[in-house]
């Protein structure tokens, strides 16, 4: 199955390629417009991105695809009332992820709960038929400092439940078996069956 990925995030594309080995992906072109994502919930954003991308591709695409896949995901921290949540990618604009991670950790009082979860919603807009979503989540906690160089984004500050290492320290095989995106990808495979 060949899918248009409604994202220019190469890390996300690589991870989805590993999680969905039966799919090949066409990245959202640099020349294409920005994809809107102004929903209040992960599901809203994922559907908005997938349907927008497919509509644009039908008029401007350069190769045939079977549909468009969008991912909306983020880190939800209890001590920040669920934030940054759907705004995870837009948290602390202008900073790279190492700086974002340090800033986020600095916002959590030492005595506060460090409970957090990663959430992912994948939306598939097929070339024919209705768009749909599947989701996944992983519970865990925030580390006290940035640890590890694996993964991307907030991985070096998130410790999944049952582990002492962050996603930034765990191998991609272990991360994929636990992660929000891994769970969502498995749900997508089941739905497509």
Q: Name the active-site residue from 38, 66, 71, 72.
A: 72
**The three-state (H, E, C) secondary structure of the chain, written as one string:** CEEEECCCCHHHHHHHHHHCCCCEEEECCCCCCCCCCCCCCHHHHHHHHHHHHHHHHHHHCCCCCCEEEEEEEEEEEHHHCCEEHHHHHHCCCCCCHHHHHHHHHHCCCCCCCCEEEEEEEEEEEECCCCCEEEEEEEEEEECCCCCCCCCCCCHHHEEECCCCCCCCCCCHHHHHHHCHHHHHHHHHHHHHC
Our answer to whether residue 72 is catalytic in this structure is: yes
- Which positions are catalytic? 72
């Amino acid at each position: 199955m060949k899918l248009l990925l409604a994202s220019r995030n190469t890390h996300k594309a690589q991870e989805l390629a590993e999680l969905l080995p039966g799919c090949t992906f066409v990245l959202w072109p640099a020349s294409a417009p920005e994809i809107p994502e102004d929903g209040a919930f992960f599901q809203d954003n994922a559907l908005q991105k997938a349907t927008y991308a497919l509509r644009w591709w039908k008029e401007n695409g350069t190769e045939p695809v079977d549909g468009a896949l969008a991912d909306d995901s983020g880190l939800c921290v209890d001590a920040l009332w669920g934030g940054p949540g759907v705004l995870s990618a837009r948290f602390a604009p202008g900073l790279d992820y190492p700086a974002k991670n340090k800033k986020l950790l600095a916002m959590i009082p030492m005595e506060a709960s460090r409970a957090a979860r990663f959430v992912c919603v994948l939306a598939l807009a097929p070339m024919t038929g209705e768009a749909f979503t599947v989701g996944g989540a992983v519970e865990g906690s925030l580390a006290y400092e940035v640890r590890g160089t694996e993964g991307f984004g907030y991985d070096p500050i998130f410790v999944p439940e049952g582990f002492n290492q962050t996603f930034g320290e765990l191998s991609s095989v272990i991360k994929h078996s636990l992660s929000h995106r891994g769970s969502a990808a498995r749900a997508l495979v089941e739905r497509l069956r």
